Amino acid sequence: METRQQGSTLFSAILVLIATLVVIQLWLVAAALDALLARQIAVLVPTALASGALFTLSGGLLWYVVSFDKRLRHGGPRG
Q: Where do contacts with another protein occur on this chain (CB under 8 A)?
A: 11-12, 14-15, 18-19, 21-22, 25-26, 28-29, 32-33, 35-42, 44-45, 47-48, 51-52, 54-55, 58-59, 62, 65-66, 69
CA distance 10 to 31: 31
Q: Rounded to whole angstroms, how far apart are CA atoms 6 and 21?
A: 22
What is the smallest separation between the CB atom of 54 and another protein, expressed in angstroms?
A: 7
Q: How far is the CB of 74 from another protein (least distance, A)?
A: 15
Instruction: Considering the complex, state which of residue 5 and residue 62 has its C-beta at the smaller distance from another protein.
Output: 62
What span, in angstroms and rounded, lies between the C-alpha atoms of 9 and 7? 5
H-type helices in the chain, by residue range?
4-37, 44-75
